[in-house]
Structure 1
Amino acid sequence: MSEKVNIGDKAPDFELVKPDGGLFRLKDQLKDKNVVLYFYPKDNTPGCTKQACEFRDQYEVFKEHDAEVVGISGDSADSHEKFEQSHRLPFVLLSDKGNQVRNMFGVPRKFGIIPGRVTYVIDKNGIVRYIFNSMTKPLEHVKNALEVLKDIEKK
């Protein structure tokens, strides 16, 4: 059963194994950073590659806004490692086999089968400040997340 995370909710904590074998825990990241958590359908597909490369190209700007970018899909750690290397991605991609984390956040599927593309901006207090759900506008995920981070800084 999946819950749907909404703006203003505390983000559910989770832990997944990173490609290097270490553990990624959301709560550890939130100690000193905002987190831009993006769920995407599949490595090496046109939209997902565009989105990942745009996050890569803007990565330094995200860091300037005290944010870490984290991508999650159901692909294997091996697939993620190849995807990261071929596109020189500076952020971690996590494998969510069985879609447990996707379900925790309530990320919908398109046509009931294709894993959705949803981005969450989570502030340092663990509060979800923004959610963007669009399969067809992968670049807007990046642009919108940056705008939200700028607004968080102003407050």
Structure 2
Amino acid sequence: MTAFFQLLGFSSQSQIKTGDKIPAFSLQDQDGKTFDITRVLGKQPLVIYFYPKDETNVCTREACSFRDSFQDFQKYGALVIGISSDNVASHKHFATHHKLPFTLLSDPKNEVRKLFGVPKTFVIPGRVTYIVDKNGVVVHEFNSLRDGEKHVTESLAALKKMQ
């Protein structure tokens, strides 16, 4: 049965949940610079959202929704980080094209996605957002492949509760 679920793209690794500490990782950002999560842990809340692909319909609406609410995230002192398997050049184009003021990280081998245990739906990479406190502990998670904009409202509500 496990092989069947892996064939469908479901991971046997458990997904990070509320109350879990996030794993340490480093990836390249849209400018080709190494982003090391351990350098920001302990300094501010984090909004880490995994999304399937740059320039696709729902992903673009989600990213633009984060952009449009960016001042609200700044008000809470939160750092917004988007992660997908797209390469650095794709992220650079996506960020420039849509004027995205936050960090996009390239995870071409899906290593960080696997560290977090982000589930797939058949062959489509999952869309999951984690709200992480200053101690690196997940205080809220939201999983919805279809409703990209709701990731923003869920994130802001969770940040408000942290105040």
Q: TM-score, normalised by structure 1?
A: 0.95
The whole-number CA distance in structure 1 between the counterparts of 2:140 and 2:127 is 14
Residue 150 (structure 1) aligned with residue 150 (structure 2): no
1:95 corresponds to: 106
The whole-number CA distance in structure 2 between the counterparts of 1:22 and 1:50 is 25
Equivalent residues, number: 152
Q: CA-to-partner distance for each residue in 1:13-44, whole Å, 9 max, x for gaps?
A: 11111222221111212231110000000000
1:39 corresponds to: 50
* Residues 3, 104 of structure 1: 8 Å contact kept: no
The whole-number CA distance in structure 1 between the counterparts of 2:55 and 2:32 is 22
1:129 corresponds to: 139
Residue 22 (structure 1) aligned with residue 11 (structure 2): no
Q: Secondary structure at the match of 2:79?
A: strand
Q: Secondary structure at the match of 1:37?
A: strand
Q: One-letter code of the match for 2:130?
A: Y
1:139 corresponds to: 149
Q: TM-score, normalised by structure 2?
A: 0.90
The whole-number CA distance in structure 2 between the counterparts of 1:52 and 1:34 is 19
Residue 109 (structure 1) aligned with residue 120 (structure 2): yes
